[in-house]
Each structure stands twice: as C-alpha cells, then as structure tokens.
Amino acid sequence: MTKLVHDLPAGTLEWVESIGSGKVSQLRRHVARREAWVVDVTRPDGTTLEGFLRVQRESDSVDPRRLERETRILQALQDTEVPVPAVYGWNADLKAALFERDPGRSDLDKLEDTTQQRAVMEDFTRIVAKLHTLDINALALEDIMQYVPTTPAECALNEVDLIVSQWQRFIDRQLDPLTIYSLDWLRRYAPTTVSRTSLIQGDTGPVNFMFQGDRVSAVIDWELGHFGDPLEDLGNIAVREFWNPSGGLSGLFDLYEAESGIAYDRFRAQYYAVHQNVRGMMPIHYVCENAHPQESLAWYLAYRYVGDRATCEMLAAAMEVSIAPPDFPKDDDPRDILAKSAIYALEHDVAPTLSDPFAQSRTKDAQTLIACMARKRRFGPELEAAELEELSSLLGIEAVSIADSRRAFQRAVAEGRLEDDAVIRTLTAKAYRDEWLYRPSTDLYPDRSWAPFD
C-alpha cells in the first residue's frame, strides 16, 4: 500500500483503524475551511468503512469543545426524524471524531435542474421544522451546551455575548467600525418575543446538508449548534442561500410555518441574518489578520469582504435605509511585473503538474493572494483616505488617522450619539470599497446578493 502522507496527531490513524477493524486504505485532506479528512478503512473480509474524520487542534482555545459538541448533537439526533451522519467514534484525548461519509452531494447551488433544487430545499425546510419542534429536554445535551436560554433576550443575545467573550481582546484591538456598530444594533433591536426554545443548527442552509436525488440525506456541520429562537435558523438559511444561491427563498418560510406551527416574522428573520453574519465574521476577521500558513487565507478574505458587504445590506434592509455603491478608483491595471510573473508561473508552470486536489487549491490560493497584494499596494492608500474622510464627517471631527477615527466612532456608538441611517450608509460605502479592493479573492463568490424575504 502507498505510504500515507499526513500531519495528523500521533495515534489518530491507529484509533481510526481500531474503530473500523481494518487498515486505512485511503486518506486525503478534504478541501474545507475546517480540518477534515476523507478516510477509508478496509477490513480483512474486503468490506470498507467509508469515514469522514474531523480533528480539532489544541491551538483552538476559543471554543475547545466545539467538535465534541457537534459529535454529541449528532448522537442525540440519531433516532429522530432529522437525518444526520452516524457517529462511528469520538476520542477525547485526540479531539477527533469519525463520522459516516454520506455518498450524496452538498453543492445544491451547482444544480442546473431548478425543479430538483426546489424539491431539495422544500424537503430541507420540512426537516428544519421537525428539528425545531423536538423536545430539547429529551435530547439531554445541557451538559455540553454553554447555556439554556430562558427569555427572548437570552435567546437572541446569549450567543452574541458568548462570541464576544471569546473574541473580546481582538475586538478591542481591531476596533472595526462595522463590528462595533453591529453589536450595538443587535442589542438595541433584540426580539422581545419568542415562540419556543429549540435546538438550533446555528449555520444551517445550502451546503451544510447532503442530498441524494430530491431528498436531504444528511444535515451536517453542527459545530455552532445551540439552544435558541427557532427563527434564528431562518436567518441562517438566508445567509447560506446568499453564499450558495439555490433557487431563492420564495414560499419556504410560509412552508416552514405550516410544517412547524411556529409563526414567521420578517424582521426577526432579518435580525438573525445580521446576527449570523456578525457572529461569523469575528473569527474570520481574526484569521484574515492572524492566519496560520496552513489556512486558506484567500477564501477567508472572500468570506470577510463579501460577508461585511452582506451585513451592511441586511442592516439596511431591516432598517429600511436606502444605500448605493460609492465611486471606485480608476482600475487602469498598470504593469506590475512582479505580481504578473508570479501568477503566471503558478498558473502555467506549477498548477498543471499537480494532481492532488488540495495542492491545486493551495496553488490557486497563492495566485489570489499575490493579486490582492498588488491591488492593495496600488489602491489601499486612496481607499483608506476615503474611509477617514467619511468617518470624520459622520463624527463631526477632524481625525488625523484611521485609529483615531475608529476610537472616536466607538465612543460615539457607546454614547448613542449617531443616527442609524447615517452610520449604515457610511459603513456600507466602506464595505463596497473593501470588496472591490480585494476583488481577486471576493471573485471566488461573484455577484452574491440577498434573496428576497417573503
């Protein structure tokens, strides 16, 4: 057998082989934001266990029980009407979980058959309705969950407070105006009613479930699972549909209401779309500024700058604020021989020689990062000057640096001195410019827009 090349923690493969009662015959890194591996274990009788291996490294100290929580949720859902992968094993010492590998597809957005796409989304909506009507006490997950909310405010804000507590030092250091304002907005406009407390997937929608034919075969990715307002998952679905367009949302929330008996409220769904984006962007912002070389920074940049623009657009929609893109610098593409030479070499001389999908993906990432560096050098100072001018105008001060203006913005938000409409327009202009500046990465998700909320 070909020698398996990997950097998994010592003892991981031996543990996998003990679970599968055989020898690992295939092992390859799965192309994803979180570390995952496709693994086959061939038994002496010739049968094969087809597994999906997840590993949480010790360096992840922000949420050290994230993978354990996902595993426990999957175990709790095994005997419900919510289809999930089987859990073959959990190793607390290795912080590794071995799951069943579903043979279906997750790329619903890639289907050309819109009838099939719609059927899958309707099936998924029915499954979400079943998830939200489960008795949370019967799931016996209280010991692995960070909290069990008891009020509408706790349903809305416990997860916000949790993510802030995990990232407070970074938030204070970064002073990102969108993060500062959005957290304040989430607290001021938190829903005051809730139909019930449910198990929430926390990042649900297209790509986070597998499908076969026109049915959902497994709901995956439960690392953000928690208890809360069921309408939070409707906001999540809208966010996932934004990133992975799958036929829109028309009629789906009405179907959800009919299947679950839980009333749909448009503003609350919009609120939770902002909620999901703000929570999701904090760790992404962090990685964009502190990425480990192993991480796919090009994709994180796309998530960040497309995601920030999406947050601003949803804030505007929820608050009924009119917005428009600002003017951009003239992109006359002057000759940048260093960037062009490096990109050409990777695209034409390196990439064609590679057969491993992960290596191909990393090569493409490198091309994207080089192109981003070239654009930041050319246009960064001009766009930073525009941000400084707009923040100074919003605050009514003459700031001499971005850092000064951001500190002043933080104080003004804390003191409640700013009008929502003006803030949203200012932040949206910056988000549009950032997305344009990092276009080589944001083009990984081109032309993303929010589907209308019914």
Whether 29 has a pLDDT exceeding 70, the answer reads yes
Q: What pLDDT sits at residue 274?
A: 98
Residue recorded with tokens 């941000």: 387
List Cα–Cα distances, 255 to 127, 200, 251, 276, 355, in angstroms. 11, 18, 6, 22, 44
Are 12-67+83-100 and 108-290 in the same CATH fold? no
Q: What pTM was estimated for this model as a whole?
A: 0.90
Tens digit of each residue's pLDDT (9 = 90 or more) over 329-366: 987 766 688 888 988 899 999 999 999 888 998 899 99
Q: What pLDDT sits at residue 61?
A: 64
Determine the topology of domain 12-67+83-100 in CATH.
Phosphorylase Kinase; domain 1 (3.30.200)
Task: Kindly list the domain boundaries of the chain, sorted by start residue.
Answer: 12-67+83-100, 108-290, 324-449
Q: How confident is the model over 425-441, as a mean pLDDT?
A: 97
Which of 313, 440, 325, 302 is CA-nearest to residue 371? 440
Out of 26-40, 144-158, 396-410, 422-436, pick the least confident: 26-40
Tens digit of each residue's pLDDT (9 = 90 or more) over 77-132: 999 999 999 999 999 999 999 999 999 999 999 999 999 999 999 999 999 999 99
Whether 22 has a pLDDT exceeding 90, the answer reads yes
Backbone angles phi, psi at 265, to 5 degrees: -130, 120
Average confidence score pLDDT of the chain: 94
Tokens, residue 205: 């929608």
CATH of domain 108-290: 3.90.1200.10
Angle at 440 between CA 434 and CA 441, to 5 degrees: 70
Return the amino acid letter for 377: R
Q: How confident is the model over 46-52, as a mean pLDDT?
A: 97
